[in-house]
């Protein structure tokens, strides 16, 4: 369209679209075309661009003038939008639209640009929505905004009232991420689900951002093409945080200069939101029409945590807005199991980053879900504070009061069991890692916790070698044999207990906890209940899983005519419910499957103990259900958003 040396005005067409998925490009300043070539691009690395040397006059293109939209036909309006660089509306799709949703949710942290547009350009928003409704022939127009944008909704409603219009229905939605995701937005606004394999357009629904609707008004009514946009510039490293109207093509360093520069060097400069934005290395990269924000993160927030093994906690499943199972999907990607990717709905993933955000092991879930196609510095750029290492140490510390009570009652006999089991577990792990020439990881606390849990299953006064053998077996055969942290199938301490009582029933039968002594039982049960509530509150163990286990255990005991409360408080059930049953790698990741898992484990364990007379029947019940965990994960998965309901 132009060549070096040409004079251009602000709004002059310099790049024509070459297809339905492309848009026209206009000069954002007046001046002289200096060069045409490859320049830095914030999303693609580099792209063909036109460099314009500004003359400082900002002379508007003669084609930018007010128009009488009432006299324009639908085709003329669509052509005007194409020429203005607004690609969201095209002739083929616009005629099929029945419902328009104007998205003003802006759910990511720091972003307030859409809120500002609704506040300061409410009239333009209403007029733009009127044009969109006219072009598409839509019967309904909704304005969706978060409950933290009530003032903006009231401003838009006041403009509607002053114009005597009521064609826009404002919908207030909860302010959570990713509220602006098309499937989620449609479900929350229209109470319908987009079927799997379908898009919003297939259902006659058009979703437009508030800034796009304002741009429609400016393009049609004022003849102004898209050459500037609102950009939120924020972050703790900036001297000033601002919302700026920025011309497209402005270098990032110039935008930062308008905010008085950096107070200190940022750890990362993110274009877009922290959950889905792109890290910017080159400050010469320009602002483009998709730039919503620039966020300067301090080094302490941008620091990447060390990645740990997946512990199958299920947090990613609970956080996924598409109802997928990211833990299985990412493990399938790592193992190259493509058959699982389709079965578990990888194609439905919207790369929102929720799974990466909540992952306590700090795994790069988002990168894995794109099969490694995303850059290493991929979003999200913020993470939840919980970590798998912290979860291990919290559980270890909460077990110490119960260990102290046992030592107080049994003296050195209990202390020997505790010390030998923990020491042998740590020694076994260290020796194995040294033999395999791997990094020693005692600091993660997993071996120490396994040894302590094993110690509680061994009676005080048992021979020293029983405790030592139990701790070592739990680590080597229970954990490392299956691949280590997050990979083991059976709860290691319970597996060690079954091993010991199978070969040495007299020496290993019984428990370390003095539950037969009244005052000790009261203290121990109180400590276990308090610890269990804290573990669930901190989400160190699956929430509600112990409740289902204890309820089913009590129900079976009552059905058999026994003292249900006595069985619960003087036996191992309470301890098992809070510290052994909810071991993340050994339970299903899907919340609904966890309910079935805990109910079956409790019923089976109670029947084995009370009906079959099997000592430690509760342990056998849990281990049997551990073996069924992979089946639960595969066949009792969540229903994808938009998938037809199934029995499981």
Task: Give tens-digit pLDDT for 46-99.
Answer: 999 999 999 999 999 998 999 888 888 888 998 898 888 887 765 445 558 899
Whether the CB-CB separation of 153 and 175 falls below 8 Å is answered with: no
Banded pLDDT at 254 (limits 50, 70, 90): very high
Residue 637 reports pLDDT greater than 90: no
- Identify the residue with better confidence: 646 or 517: 517
The confidence score (pLDDT) of residue 647 equals 40
Place of tokens 């790369």: 351
Strand bridging mode 268-271 / 278-279: antiparallel
Which phi and psi angles does 212 have, rounded to 5°? Answer: -65, -40
- Report angle CA 305, 308, 309 to the nearest 5 degrees: 155
Written as six digits, the tokens of 119 are: 């506040």
- Report angle CA 515, 520, 524 to the nearest 5 degrees: 75
Q: Report d(CA 425, CA 444) in Å as an integer.
A: 13
Q: Report d(CA 133, CA 471) in Å as an integer.
A: 70
Written as six digits, the tokens of 435 are: 């033999």
DSSP letter for each residue of 382-419: ---S--HHHHHHHHHHHHHHHHHHHHHHHTHHHHHHHH
Q: Report d(CA 438, CA 234) in Å as an integer.
A: 43
CA dist 296 to 242, 272, 382, Å?
Answer: 12, 11, 12
Q: Report d(CA 348, CA 329) in Å as an integer.
A: 12
The confidence score (pLDDT) of residue 302 equals 72
The Cβ-side half-sphere exposure at 530, using a 13 Å CA radius, reads 12
Closest CA to 149 of 124, 196, 115, 116: 115
The confidence score (pLDDT) of residue 379 equals 62
DSSP letter assigned to residue 475: I
DSSP letter assigned to residue 566: H
Task: Give tens-digit pLDDT for 395-425.
Answer: 999 999 999 999 999 999 999 999 999 999 9
Whether the CB-CB separation of 85 and 11 falls below 8 Å is answered with: no
Q: Report d(CA 131, CA 214) in Å as an integer.
A: 10
Strand bridging mode 168-173 / 140-146: parallel
The confidence score (pLDDT) of residue 342 equals 78
Kindly tell me the sign of the dihedral angle through the C-alpha atoms of 594, 598, 603, 607.
positive
Q: Comparing 12-21, 128-137, 429-438, 544-553, which segment has the lowest mean pLDDT?
A: 12-21
Fold observed for domain 228-302: Ubiquitin-like (UB roll) (3.10.20)
Q: How many residues does the chain have?
A: 648
Q: Report d(CA 395, CA 581) in Å as an integer.
A: 13
Written as six digits, the tokens of 480 are: 């490392």
Give mean pLDDT, residues 608-621.
Answer: 92
Strand bridging mode 278-279 / 99-104: unpaired
Task: Give tens-digit pLDDT for 178-203.
Answer: 888 888 899 999 998 888 778 888 89
Q: Report d(CA 84, CA 106) in Å as an integer.
A: 24
Written as six digits, the tokens of 255 are: 């935008």
Whether the CB-CB separation of 619 and 605 falls below 8 Å is answered with: yes
Q: What percent of the chain has pLDDT over 90?
A: 56
Strand bridging mode 228-234 / 205-209: unpaired
The confidence score (pLDDT) of residue 91 equals 47
- Report angle CA 434, 436, 439 to the nearest 5 degrees: 55
Residue 274 reports pLDDT greater than 90: no
Banded pLDDT at 494 (limits 50, 70, 90): very high
E strands within 281-409?
293-297
Residue 347 reports pLDDT greater than 90: no
- Identify the residue with better confidence: 97 or 647: 97
Place of tokens 């740590």: 426
Q: Where are the domains of the chain?
A: 7-54, 69-221, 228-302, 315-386
The confidence score (pLDDT) of residue 375 equals 45
The confidence score (pLDDT) of residue 92 equals 43
Closest CA to 28 of 52, 2, 64: 52
Whether the CB-CB separation of 583 and 491 falls below 8 Å is answered with: yes
Q: Report d(CA 386, CA 392) in Å as an integer.
A: 11
Phi-psi region of 8 (alpha: psi -120 to 50; beta: other; left: phi over 0): beta
Collapse the DSSP code of 287 into the 3-class scheme (helix H, G, I; strand E, B; otherwise coil) and give the result.
coil
Alpha-helix runs per DSSP H in 263-387: 299-302, 315-319, 326-335, 338-343, 354-358, 365-369
Task: Give tens-digit pLDDT for 93-152.
Answer: 555 889 999 999 988 888 889 999 999 999 999 999 999 999 998 999 999 998 889 999
H, E, C per residue of 155-203: HHHHHHHHHCCCCEEEEEECCCCCCCCHHHHHHHHHCCCCCCCCCCHHH
Banded pLDDT at 366 (limits 50, 70, 90): confident
Place of tokens 């991420």: 177
Kindly tell me the sign of the dihedral angle through the C-alpha atoms of 544, 546, 547, 548.
positive
Q: Kindly state the helix (H) or strand (E) to which residue 567 belongs, with its residue range.
A: helix 564-570
Q: Report d(CA 79, CA 67) in Å as an integer.
A: 14
The confidence score (pLDDT) of residue 374 equals 45
Residue 610 reports pLDDT greater than 60: yes
Four-way CATH pick for 69-221: 3.40.50.300, 3.40.50.620, 3.40.50.11540, 3.40.50.2020: 3.40.50.11540
Helices 446-455 + 388-410 axis angle, to 10? 30
Residue 430 reports pLDDT greater than 60: yes
Residue 389 reports pLDDT greater than 90: no
Place of tokens 């379908």: 198
Q: Report d(CA 220, CA 91) in Å as an integer.
A: 15
Collapse the DSSP code of 571 into the 3-class scheme (helix H, G, I; strand E, B; otherwise coil) and give the result.
coil
From the centroid of its chain, how far is CA 465? 46
Alpha-helix runs per DSSP H in 6-98: 74-84, 91-94
Q: Report d(CA 454, CA 468) in Å as an integer.
A: 10
E strands within 487-593?
none
Residue 648 reports pLDDT greater than 70: no
Q: What percent of the chain has pLDDT over 70?
A: 94
Give mean pLDDT, residues 512-517.
Answer: 87
- For 624, other C-beta atoms within 10 Å of its C-beta total 15
């Amino acid at each position: 369209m132009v060549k070096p040396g040409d004079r251009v005005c602000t709004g002059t067409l310099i790049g024509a679209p070459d297809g339905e998925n492309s848009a026209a490009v206009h000069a954002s300043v007046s001046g002289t075309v200096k060069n045409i070539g490859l320049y830095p691009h914030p999303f693609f690395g580099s792209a063909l661009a036109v460099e314009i040397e500004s003359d400082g006059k900002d002379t508007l293109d003669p084609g930018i003038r007010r128009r009488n939209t009432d006299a324009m036909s639908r085709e003329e309006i669509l052509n005007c939008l194409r020429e203005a660089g607004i690609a969201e509306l095209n002739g083929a799709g616009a005629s099929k639209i029945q419902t328009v949703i104007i998205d003003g949710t802006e759910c990511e942290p720091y972003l307030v640009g859409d809120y500002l547009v609704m506040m300061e350009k409410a009239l333009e928003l209403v007029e733009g929505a009127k044009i969109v409704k006219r072009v598409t022939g839509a019967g309904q127009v909704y304005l969706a905004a978060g409950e933290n944008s009530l003032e903006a909704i009231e401003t838009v409603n006041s403009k509607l009232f002053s114009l005597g219009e009521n064609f826009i229905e404002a919908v207030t939605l909860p302010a959570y991420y990713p509220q602006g995701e098309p499937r989620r937005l449609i479900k929350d606004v229209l109470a319908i689900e987009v079927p799997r394999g379908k898009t919003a357009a297939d259902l006659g629904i058009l979703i437009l951002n508030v800034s796009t609707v304002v741009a429609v008004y400016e393009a049609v009514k004022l003849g102004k093409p898209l050459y500037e946009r609102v950009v939120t510039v924020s972050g703790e490293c900036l001297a000033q945080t601002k919302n700026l109207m920025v011309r497209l093509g402005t270098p990032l360093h110039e935008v930062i200069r308008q905010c008085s520069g950096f107070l200190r060097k940022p750890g990362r400069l993110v274009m877009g939101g922290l959950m889905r934005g792109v890290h910017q290395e080159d400050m010469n990269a320009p602002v483009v029409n998709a730039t919503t924000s620039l966020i300067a993160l301090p080094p302490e927030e941008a620091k990447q945590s060390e990645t740990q093994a997946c512990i199958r906690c299920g947090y990613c499943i609970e956080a996924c807005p598409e109802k997928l199972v990211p833990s299985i999907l990412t493990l399938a990607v790592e193992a190259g199991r493509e058959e699982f990717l389709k079965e578990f709905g990888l194609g439905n993933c919207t790369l929102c980053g929720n799974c990466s955000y909540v992952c306590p092991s700090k795994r790069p879930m988002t990168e894995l879900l794109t099969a490694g196609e995303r850059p290493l510095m991929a979003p999200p750029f913020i993470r939840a504070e919980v970590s798998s290492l912290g979860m291990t140490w919290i559980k270890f510390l909460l077990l110490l009061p119960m260990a102290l009570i046992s030592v107080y009652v049994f003296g050195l006999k209990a202390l020997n069991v505790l010390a030998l089991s923990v020491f042998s577990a740590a020694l076994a792990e260290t020796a194995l890692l040294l033999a395999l020439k791997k990094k020693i990881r005692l600091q993660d606390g997993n071996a120490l916790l396994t040894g302590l849990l094993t110690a509680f299953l061994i009676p005080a006064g048992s021979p020293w070698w029983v405790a030592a053998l139990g701790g070592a077996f739990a680590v080597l055969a229970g954990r490392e044999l299956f691949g280590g942290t997050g990979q083991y199938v059976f709860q290691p301490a319970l597996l060690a207990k079954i091993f010991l009582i199978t070969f040495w029933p007299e020496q290993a039968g019984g428990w370390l906890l003095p539950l037969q002594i009244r005052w000790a039982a009261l203290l121990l049960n109180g400590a276990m209940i308090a610890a269990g509530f804290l573990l669930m509150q901190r989400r160190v163990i699956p929430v509600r899983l112990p409740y289902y286990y204890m309820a089913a255990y009590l129900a079976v005991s009552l059905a058999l005519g026994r003292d249900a409360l006595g069985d619960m408080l003087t036996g191992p059930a309470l301890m098992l419910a809070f510290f052994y049953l909810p071991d993340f790698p050994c339970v299903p990741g899907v919340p609904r499957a966890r309910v079935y898992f805990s109910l079956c484990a409790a019923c089976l364990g109670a029947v084995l103990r009370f009906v079959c007379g099997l000592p430690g029947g509760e342990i056998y019940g849990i281990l049997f259900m551990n073996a069924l965990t992979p089946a639960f994960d595969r066949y009792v998965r969540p229903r994808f958003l938009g998938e037809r309901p199934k029995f499981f």
